[in-house]
Chain A
Amino acid sequence: MERDDIIEYSLDTHHSVEEGVKMRKSIWKVTGLLTLITVVEVALGAFIKQDNSIWPIVKWGFICLTLVKAAYIVLSFMHLGHEKKSLKYVILIPYAIFILFLIFISLTESIAVGAAWEKYGA
Chain B
Amino acid sequence: MSEHATEQNNTKTLWGGKISPFNASYGKLMMWFFLVSDALTFGGLLIAYGFTRFNTQDAWPIGEETFNSLPFLGHGYPLIYVALMTFILIVSSVTMVLAVEAGHRMDRKGVTKWMVATIIGGFFFVGSQAWEWSHFIHGSEFGKVELADGSQAIVKGHFGKIKNFTVVETTKHHKKGELITEDLMHQYQHAVVKGNIEKGIIQLHDGTLAKVNKEADHDMILIIKKDGIKHKIGQKIEGAEASKLYYESINSGDAHKVIYGANLKENEYGPQQYGQFFFFITGFHGFHVFSGVCFNIIILLGVLKGTYHKRGHYEMVEKTGLYWHFVDLVWVFVFTFFYLV
* Contact string against B for A residues 34-48, beta-carbon threshold 8 Å, 1 for contact and 0 otherwise: 110011011011100
For A6, list chain B residues within 8 Å (CB). Answer: 8, 311-312
29 contacts between A and B (CB under 8 A): A1-B12, A4-B26, A6-B8, A7-B14, A8-B8, A8-B25, A12-B104, A13-B104, A14-B1, A15-B104, A16-B105, A24-B101, A27-B101, A35-B87, A42-B83, A46-B80, A51-B234, A62-B340, A66-B335, A70-B332, A78-B321, A84-B23, A87-B24, A87-B32, A91-B32, A95-B36, A95-B40, A99-B40, A111-B55
**CB-based contact B12/A114 at 8 Å:** no
The 7 A-B pairs with the shortest beta carbon distances in the complex, nearest first, are A114-B55, A110-B54, A87-B22, A42-B83, A66-B336, A46-B78, A110-B55
**CB-based contact A106/B13 at 8 Å:** no
**CB-based contact A63/B106 at 8 Å:** no
**CB-based contact A41/B8 at 8 Å:** no
**CB-based contact B329/A111 at 8 Å:** no
For A84, list chain B residues within 8 Å (CB). Answer: 22-24
**CB-based contact A41/B104 at 8 Å:** no
**CB-based contact A35/B90 at 8 Å:** yes
Question: Which B positions have Cβ atoms within 8 angstroms of A?
Answer: 1, 4-5, 8-9, 12-14, 19-20, 22-29, 32, 36, 39-40, 43-44, 47-48, 50-52, 54-57, 62-64, 78-80, 83, 86-87, 90-91, 93-94, 96-98, 100-102, 104-106, 234, 311-313, 315-316, 318, 321-322, 325-326, 328-329, 332-333, 335-336, 339-341
Alpha-carbon distance between A84 and B90 when the two chains are bound, in angstroms: 26
**CB-based contact A1/B104 at 8 Å:** no
Chain A residues numbered 20-61 whose CB sits less than 8 Å from any CB in chain B: 20, 23-24, 27-28, 31, 34-35, 38-39, 41-42, 44-46, 49-51, 59
**CB-based contact A90/B22 at 8 Å:** yes
Interface centre among B51, B56, B105, B339 (most CB of A within 10 A): B51
For A113, list chain B residues within 8 Å (CB). Answer: 55
Looking across the interface, which residue of chain A has its beta carbon closest to that of B110? A20
Alpha-carbon distance between A15 and B106 when the two chains are bound, in angstroms: 9
**Given A10-B24, A17-B105, A106-B48, 14 other A-B residues pairs in contact with their CB atoms under 8 A:** A4-B25, A7-B25, A9-B20, A20-B104, A27-B101, A35-B90, A45-B340, A50-B62, A77-B94, A77-B96, A91-B36, A107-B54, A110-B54, A114-B57
Looking across the interface, which residue of chain B has its beta carbon closest to that of A45? B340
A4 to chain B, nearest CB (A): 5
**CB-based contact A74/B329 at 8 Å:** yes
For B98, list chain A residues within 8 Å (CB). Answer: 24, 27
**CB-based contact A106/B97 at 8 Å:** no
Chain A residues numbered 94-122 whose CB sits less than 8 Å from any CB in chain B: 94-95, 98-99, 102-103, 106-107, 109-111, 113-114, 117-118, 122
Looking across the interface, which residue of chain A has its beta carbon closest to that of B236? A51
Indicate whether A70 sits within 8 Å of B9 (C-beta atoms), given known contacts A27-B98, A102-B43, A109-B51.
no
Q: Which of B28, B55, B101, B329 contacts A70 (CB 8 A)?
A: B329
Question: Which A positions have Cβ atoms within 8 angstroms of B?
Answer: 1-2, 4-17, 20, 23-24, 27-28, 31, 34-35, 38-39, 41-42, 44-46, 49-51, 59, 62-63, 66, 69-70, 73-74, 77-79, 83-84, 86-87, 90-91, 94-95, 98-99, 102-103, 106-107, 109-111, 113-114, 117-118, 122
Q: Which of B43, B78, B329 contacts A99 (CB 8 A)?
A: B43
Indicate whether A5 sits within 8 Å of B25 (C-beta atoms), given known contacts A31-B91, A38-B86, A117-B55.
yes
